[in-house]
Amino acid sequence: MLRNKAILIIVTSLLAIVTTGMVTFDPHNSTLLTSGENIKNSLANAASDFSKEIVFDGDHYKIDNNIFSMDGNIYIPLPDLTKIVPLEVKQNPGSLILTHQRKELTYKNNMIQNKESNDVEKFIIQNEIIYLPSIHLEKFLNLEIDYYFDKRTNTISIMSPHEQQKKPYNQNLGTTIFLHKENVPLAKYEPRGGIYLGGYVLQDEYINASMEKFNQLTGRKHASFFKYVGYEQPFPTEWVNEVVKAGGFPHIAWEPNDGLDAINDDNYLREFANAADAAKVPVLLRFASEMNGTWTAYSGKPELYIKKWKLVHDVMEEEAPNVMMLWNVFTMPEDTIQDFYPGDAYVDYVGVNIYNVVYHNNNIEERSDYENPLALLNYVYNTFSDTKPIVIGEFGATNYTTTDEMYHVDFAARKINLMYKNLPKLYPRVKFIYYFDVNNLVNAPEGRKINNYAITENKRLLNTYRSSIRKNDYLSRLKLNPSSDETFSYRNFLFYYNGELFVDIQFVDEYLNMNVIEAGEENYLVSLQGKSVEVTKEKLAIDKAAFFEKRDIDGVSIDNVLDEFNIEHFYNDGDLHIYQPGL
């Protein structure tokens, strides 16, 4: 059953029970009230203690009442919980019975009646709202409840028994919106379905930087390999021939490490372009990547960067039509990314480099092991995949770090599985992914010898990678498919509230091509092809993928929009599918 519909049914049923008098409960019953200055203080501070959301099985839910903690326990308001978790609630004077998947939690005069001993014996009522201690929900209803992100963001996370039974790399994926379109043009050499499998092995001493050996060990031929080339160095023709011999095509990370002023329409640029053309194979050219950070010689100057990017693009378009221009950022910081974007007319593919490390900045106090590689993809994917296919230019996961001088093979295996197992289904606009098979403890410049990302030297990680790329969705060769149908997806920038799914206005504006403007405090005015309707709006601050920062979601009721404009849609296994021909 559809998740939002199911929740709505649950809430409606509860209201009906209370309304018809089948269940009566007097919130003023003195035997059920717990008072005291500590509770009042906890409630008074609750707004600052926790976010106004619950994360349930990977989805964000906006809540109406404050969660609070007291004496080391988290207290969750029952009215909000019933809108999120399918609970059967029976209330009689002096008693409360909650049932979830045949498990029962019983109270009498707010004292727990379950036989297993507990340090916490009561729930709390304040302002006519029942607050349930999380320890009861965990022990007797089998809900797993914790602070989200290692207690750093003060957001409550609830995992259902069903989700707990899944393998770690499949957990907490949440809702995906899929948008099915017709007549979508292809980028250069873009596969309509599938993802080009790629890697970086030039610094893998364990296999002598051999592409053939990497293919052999991983059990799959890789469609592409990449190489770093400094600007003003010649086109790497010899290496390109080696890539072709191994059955792939080249990806060149071309870096102007002496700064943007070195880039001019001169003999060097033209000769590089002519040599790329002479290769007679597709060339993915990742020019001046990770410019959104502070660590490159071409960071901090977006106007000059865009000017130079357009220059390089125009020369390649003129001299080397086999070149695909890849505009590639680092996953963070997010707030500078769009400043450097040259525009759709000057970009073939948009890329992002993603690394799962146990600690940021080589600082043991900055743990980052909670970070989900898919969540680290979401910002770039949601921002650009409506118009451009996406490339994961580099991906790596730490299996050893000098920060704590410990091995983290389990960590690396989970992240690799999470990325490769779910990417084809959840992110159909991703068309390339390159694993960064390097032991940086040996091969990185001084000051960066911190993490080992290599997989070939560790049998377990090699087997994890082999298993994860076994799907036919990962392509070993060029795939030219003239199909005009394409599936887009949108994730994470959405939440549920009162049985409705709200999605950020970005999706309605950029993916559905609708115009969205403010229409008072409670509504947006949404327009399409001369028709305008008012729809409900809600706002929620959710957690970003990294660094414990917040992101504001300006939510539009998506079901309301789709119904008002008679757009075909349906839910399947919790995901929303939208069909709008001709978009």
Per-residue pLDDT tens listing for the chain (583 residues): 334 434 443 333 433 333 333 332 332 232 334 445 666 676 666 656 788 899 999 999 999 999 998 888 899 999 999 999 999 999 998 899 999 999 999 999 989 999 877 788 899 998 899 999 999 999 999 999 988 776 778 889 999 998 898 887 778 899 999 999 999 999 999 999 999 999 999 999 999 999 999 999 999 999 999 999 999 999 999 999 999 999 999 999 999 999 999 999 999 999 999 999 999 999 999 999 999 999 999 999 999 999 999 999 999 999 999 999 999 999 999 999 999 999 999 999 999 999 999 999 999 999 999 999 999 999 999 999 999 999 999 999 999 999 999 999 999 999 999 999 999 999 999 999 999 999 999 887 887 899 999 999 999 999 999 999 999 999 999 998 778 899 999 999 999 999 999 999 999 999 999 999 999 888 999 999 999 999 999 999 999 999 888 999 999 999 999 999 999 999 999 999 999 865 4
Whether residues 316 and 420 share a domain: the answer is yes
Whether residues 472 and 536 fall in one domain: no
DSSP state of 399: S
Residue 565 lies in a domain: yes
- Which CATH number goes with the domain that contains 282? 3.20.20.80
CA 292 – CA 225 distance, rounded (Å): 24
DSSP 349-362: EEEEEEEE-SBSTT
- Do 346 and 491 belong to one domain? no
- How buried is 385 (Cβ within 10 angstroms: 0-12 exposed, 13-18 middle, 19+ buried)? buried
Beta-bridge partner residues of 570: 577
Are 403 and 533 in the same domain?
Answer: no
Answer whether residue 16 is part of any domain: yes
Question: Which of these three, 449, 483, 517, is where a domain ends?
Answer: 483
Instruction: Say if residue 234 is in the same domain as residue 314.
Output: yes
User: Does residue 177 lie in a domain region?
Assistant: no
Last residue of a domain, one of 427, 460, 483: 483
Query: Among residues 144, 170, 196, which one ends one of the domains?
Result: 170
Same structural domain for residues 31 and 161?
yes
Based on the fold, state whether residues 396 and 526 are members of the same structural domain.
Answer: no
Please indicate, yes or no, whether residues 398 and 330 belong to a single structural domain of this protein: yes
- Structurally, the chain folds into a number of domains equal to 3
| Bridge-based pairing state of the strands 224-230 and 195-200 | parallel
Could you list the residue range(s) of the whole structural domain that residue 115 is in? Answer: 3-170
Question: Which CA distances in Å does 133 have to 81, 129, 141, 382?
Answer: 12, 13, 12, 37
51 lies in the same domain as 79: yes
DSSP annotation string for 148-215: STTTTS--EEEE-HHHHTS-GGGSS---EEEEEESSPPPPTT--SSSEEEEEE-TT-GGGTT-HHHHH
First to last CA, the chain: 28
Looking at the structure, do residues 549 and 409 belong to the same domain, yes or no? Answer: no
437, 500: one domain: no
The answer to the question of residue 568 being in a domain is yes
Q: 430 and 333, same structural domain?
A: yes
